[in-house]
Copies of this chain bind each other. A is one copy, B any other.
Amino acid sequence: MPTIKDVAREAGVSIATVSYVLNNTGAVSEATRQRVLDAVNKLGYRPSVIAKGLQARESRMFGYSWHPMPPNQFNPILEKFLHSMAEAAARHDYHVLTFPCSDPVCEVDVYRDMVESGRVDGFVLSNTNLNDPRIRYLLEAEFPFVAFGRSNPEWDFPWVDVDGADGVEQAMNHLLELGHRRIACLAWPEESLTGQYRLVGYYRAMERAGLTVEPGWVIRTENYYQDAYQAAQAWLRLPPETRPTAVVALTDLMAIGVMNAASAAGLEVGRDLAVVGFDDAPITGYLRPPLTSLRQPIAEVGELVVTMLIDLVRGEMPSPAQVLLKPRLIVRDSTALSKPT
């Protein structure tokens, strides 16, 4: 691998001149400039990003970590998110470092390691929650990061999030327009901030429609198929006058559990029971019936998060520092054909 010294020798100039030419800094005569450029081409020289990094005290890398899904669960956003981040980063000569984080106990230690060893210049966080220890640490360390997701309101940090409340409200309005009045919601445990936001949309829509939420309509479970399946069974056991005709589930996986439970109970999903999911996983369109779901603008989130982070490492607060994007309801047969009674 040729170094800047080789280029300098080849062009008959000092290494400083080569550097000035390559960075378009400093005054260099056109003749010298050409000689340097020719030498660069002849030798196929590329500056070492490591050496540049040492000099500039930066790594030009952003760290991103995620919790692996339990078996039999899919991560509907990872691929798109990673790809859009990597693309946006590459446009500014940054790269994305993916690091593992299996054990939540030592999670912060892993982040600290990255920070203190200078591995990365910033982080992208996802799957944030209230009192997120990573955010607490990074804020305290004053280390640049942007989160996909919100956290404690009293913490001031840059984030991008998808408006779950608005999304669920869109789904609810769609169901209400179809004539549904008894609508259930399959939610997440109270600890989940994202789950809380989404649930807000449910309550808001019900209230606006002047409907009361009957006991049992909101069931909170973990994001497991089996839990969703059982929740649906519980709804189907309700007396006809309070039995839901539609369900909004906070994930596609949970929606699938509901669909399968309903089918197994002899109902025709889409006609007898409307179901809405969340995430619009690639699979949703191929389910029977195809599942209405809320699509998050993941590519946009990835792009935004990275451009904001680039602002941040340059020392400027991104503006706006908090961005709330709207999901889009993709209507399919799991709701479109429903006829509530």
A: residues with CB less than 8 A from B are: 1, 44, 46-51, 53-54, 57, 59, 61, 68-69, 71-75, 78-80, 82-83, 86-87, 90, 95-100, 102, 113, 116-119, 225, 253, 256-257, 260, 263, 281-283, 285-286, 288
Contacts and interface: CB of A to CB of B under 8 A. Distances in A.
A281 B97 contact: no
B79 A225 contact: no
B69 A87 contact: no
Contacts of A97: 61, 95-98
A102 B118 CA distance: 29
Nearest to A57: B50
Contacts of A285: 72, 225
- Which 8 residue pairs are nearest across A and B when measured between Cβ atoms? A46-B116, A86-B100, A74-B282, A87-B100, A48-B118, A50-B53, A49-B117, A68-B83
Contacts of A253: 286
Nearest to A286: B256
A195 B15 CA distance: 52
A17 to B, nearest CB: 21
Contact of A50 (B44, B46, B59): B59
B288 A1 contact: no
Contact of A90 (B73, B79, B87, B100): B100
15 contacts: A46-B118, A49-B118, A50-B50, A50-B57, A51-B54, A54-B54, A69-B79, A79-B79, A82-B82, A83-B100, A253-B286, A256-B283, A260-B286, A283-B283, A288-B288
Contacts of A54: 48, 50-51, 54
B225 A286 contact: yes
Contacts of A71: 282
Nearest to A287: B287
Given A46-B117, A50-B53, A79-B79, 5 more contacts: A49-B119, A69-B282, A74-B281, A75-B79, A78-B79
A51 B256 CA distance: 51
B95 A96 contact: no
A263 B288 CA distance: 9
A53 B83 CA distance: 27
Contacts of A87: 100, 102
B118 A1 contact: yes
A151 B187 CA distance: 47
Contacts of A116: 1, 44, 46
Contacts of A98: 82, 86, 95-98
Contact of A72 (B1, B48, B113, B282): B282
A48 B51 CA distance: 12
A69 to B, nearest CB: 6
A84 B53 CA distance: 28
A282 B73 CA distance: 5
